[in-house]
Every structure is written in C-alpha cells, then in structure tokens.
Amino acid sequence: MGLFSKRSDNTTAATANGHHKKHDRGVSGKNHHQGLFDIDSGNFNRRPSFGQWLKFTWVDLLTMAAMGAVGLGVYEAKPAPSRSFPVTFTDGEIVYPQFAYPLRHEIVPIWLAALLASLIPIFVILCMQVRIRSFWDCNNAILGLLYSLIGAAVFQVFVKWLIGGLRPHFLSVCDPDPAKIAAQGGQGFRGIMFQRDVCRGDVDQIDDSLESMPSGHSTAAWAGFLYLFFYLNAKMKVFGNHHPAFWKLIALYAPVLGATLITGALTVDEFHNWYDCVAGAVIGSTFAVSSYRMVYASVWDFRFNHIPLTRHTPFTYGAGAAGAGGFESAVFTRKAGWGYEEALGGAPFDAAHGLRGTAATGFDAGAHGLGHHHHHRPGDVENNAGLADEYKNGRTNDLAAAATNGTSSNGLTQSHSPVAAAPDGRYHHHHHRKSIERKAVPTA
C-alpha cells in the first residue's frame, strides 16, 4: 500500500432518480470519467499524475525559483547605506561597548538554521502521511512551508540590505585605525562620528557586521517551526473539541522550543542584538501564519484547519462533509471520532451550517437546540453498521410523518431522527443536514 493510498472507503450517493451509485473516496484512485477532481461528488482528494501536478503548481515553482534568485542576489550585495558610528569619546572611553564584543564562531550557522527550519518540518509532514495518506495535504503542507521560508527570507534580506545595523562585534571587526581617526577628525556633535573608511579590518566581515537587523537565523527558524506548529495543531487537534493526551501538547510546542533556542543562541554568541532577533521572529511568524492560511481553510478554527484548499474550487464553510472535498478525515489523531469518515469528528462540521458558517439553530443544532451530539468513540466503529440501519429506518419514519403533518412553524421540515441506542447502552443523536428542505408554509 503506497504512502498516499488511503484505505478503501466506498460511499453511496443518491442520484436524482432515486437510484444509488457508488463512488470511491480514496485518495489515490483515479476516476477516468471525471478526471482529477470528482466535481459531481465533491471529492478533490485524489492523487494526480506528475503532469497534472505540474500543471497546477508550475507558476508557484517558477515564482519560488525567481524569488530565491532575487534573495540570493540581495544577500550577496554590498550594504546600501553608509552608516555613521562613534568609536570613542575625546577622553578615550568607548561610546557603545555593546558593539565591542569579540568576533566568535556561530553556535548555529545560518545554513544549519535554514536546513533545520525546512527539513525537520518536511520530515514530520511526510511521517504524518503514514496515517493521513493524502497527496494534496502533503502537497499543500510542503508548498506552504516553502512559501513561508522563501517569502520571509526575501523580506528580511531586503530589510537587512537597505536598513541593517551594527552587530555586537562590529568594532572588533572594523578595527578602527587611530591614525585615520586623528587625521580625518569626526563628524557630528563634538566630532565623534565616523564612516567605515577608518576601518582596517576584513572588508567582507565589515560588510556583514553592518547588516545585523533583522536576524536571518531568527527569521528562518520562526518561518519554518511556527508553520510546523500550526500543522501539528491542525492534524492532532490539540486545541479542539476533546481533551487530548499530554504528549500531544509537548509535541506541539517542540517546534516553538526549537525556534526559541536558535533565536536565543544568537545573543549568546554575540552575533545579533536582541532586537534583531525579535524583528526576525516577527517577520518569520507573520509569513508562517500567512502561508498556512493560504493553503488550509483556517489557522485556529479546529473544524476546518486540517482541510487543504484547492486552487480553482472554493471551500464552502459550514457545508459539512459534503463541502470538505474528501479531506474530512485528513487528520493524524483518532480520538473523539476524528479520522473516521463515519463520525466526521463530531462538532467540526455540525457546529455551523450555511454558506456563511452561521450558527446552527433549532433541531439542526442538536436535541431541541441544545447542541448537536454526533460522536463515535474509536471503540464503537464496529457498531456503525447497526446504527446506520436504525438511523435510516428512523429517518424514513420521520420523513413520512413530516409529509403527513405538514411543515414546521419556521417553514423547514425537521428530519429529526430518533435517539439510537448503541449496544453499550449509550445513546447517540443522529442528524443529517441534507434532510432539511425548505418548503412553502401552508396558508389558512
């Protein structure tokens, strides 16, 4: 069984003439009659061929390559501004000792920070596919990660190039020449400000020490690891509708700890000022949030934040499983009904309805409007067949009763199925959103 080959899951869809047809909701199966996206059934969760994938993503790939080239060019360019700096007061005291630290080796080099911020999230995303088994989820997750990393990197190199700042070891790298200082004289008040022409250190090191703000390490770390934080939260439903295990909270914040350690190390080795690190973290975090929201239906809303968005078909919020495009079970957790298409995770697709995601009301919101109860424990999966039969029989009786008694007071037929008793003695409320039909209110 391939990495993106989902377990078989044949569902039955009712046609207009009352007959039923089966369609495959598997991820990797191809429907040669309906192409890559099964528009009729709303199933977009299918693995494409390489040509189909390239057709959808070539613009992004070209854009990322172009942005990478631009970022590399700006990174290699000379600092744009000519920055003035003080060396000593007239009595010989150093004006800014915070820029007089010695040059030390980086604890985490920039290339290592970039690799960690990209390869670790990609590795985790691929490992999650062992259970999620969705090509498009993996595609969106990795593309979103690249959006975040590349976008943040280009943003920060432009700021670094055009604004920059002095690194903590600037004076050590500059190594001001006292003879030049005495011969030229300073500028500004009391003549204590000088340009880089008084430096006698290595030119490349001086260029680098003039481009301190923002931190590229911090930018990459937060762009990659905060993005992974959002992905783990969505797939494990740490902040959802149930009480998850404590290890999930630890796993969720492990990327945040990694980003914090990489950022903090820059102040230990005196390669950056603290405000350089904060600026980089803000840039990286902004791109992480923006990029995740570009490729998934939500960032924080646990009902939708695991659903990858498609390029040409909009996602309908609050439409239930029918609007999920086949991604309703694209989660890693199997608690509280999540990951089982029979359960749909309870609240995620039943807490709201309508195109605008308005709150559920009336019987559609559960027992007499008190909330929709639609939960299956993983241990109850074997009872689904019996519950389904009871549900169908109850729904048939409800529809017949509705046809006899007319409509409800609000003009909607309320197909409210009875409470089904499970073999374990527990009761399950079952409601089907599609059973609500708008009809004309009879006149007196």
List pLDDT tens digits, range 370-396: 334 444 444 444 444 444 454 445 545
Reported confidence tier of residue 280, pLDDT bands at 50, 70, 90: very high
Q: Determine whether 416 is exposed, middle or buried from the number of CB atoms within 10 Å of its CB (0-12, 13-18, 19+).
A: buried
- Whole-prediction pTM value? 0.68
> Between these two residues, 376 and 72, which has the higher pLDDT value?
72
CA angle 262, 282, 143 (to 5 degrees): 80
Place of tokens 């631009």: 70
Q: Do residues 232 and 297 make contact, with C-beta atoms less than 8 angstroms apart?
A: no
Q: What is the pLDDT of residues 156-211, one digit of tens each?
A: 999 999 998 889 998 889 888 888 887 777 777 777 788 888 888 888 888 888 88
pLDDT in the model for residue 32: 40
Q: Directed axis angle between helix 110-132 and helix 135-162, to 10°?
A: 160
Identity (one letter) of the amino acid at 381? Answer: V
Closest CA to 141 of 308, 358, 21: 308
CA distance 107 to 101: 16
Q: How far apart are CA 40 and CA 80, in angstroms?
A: 56
* Cα-based angle 377, 380, 383 (whole degrees, multiple of 5): 145
pLDDT-based confidence at residue 263 (cuts at 50, 70, 90): very high
Start-end of H helices in 133-177:
135-162, 170-174
The amino acid at residue 124 is V
Most confident listed range (84-88, 333-337, 417-421) = 84-88
Question: What is the rounded CA–CA span in Å between residue 376 and residue 389?
Answer: 16
Average pLDDT over residues 127-140: 88
Is residue 69 pLDDT above 50, yes or no? yes
Contact 308, 134 (CB under 8 A): yes
CA distances from 407 to 433, 443, 444 (A): 16, 11, 13
Q: Are 26 and 1 in contact (CB under 8 A)?
A: no
Mean pLDDT of 87-95: 75
Per residue in 292-342, pLDDT tens?
A: 999 998 898 888 888 888 887 777 776 666 555 666 667 777 766 676 654
The reported pLDDT for the residue numbered 428 is 47
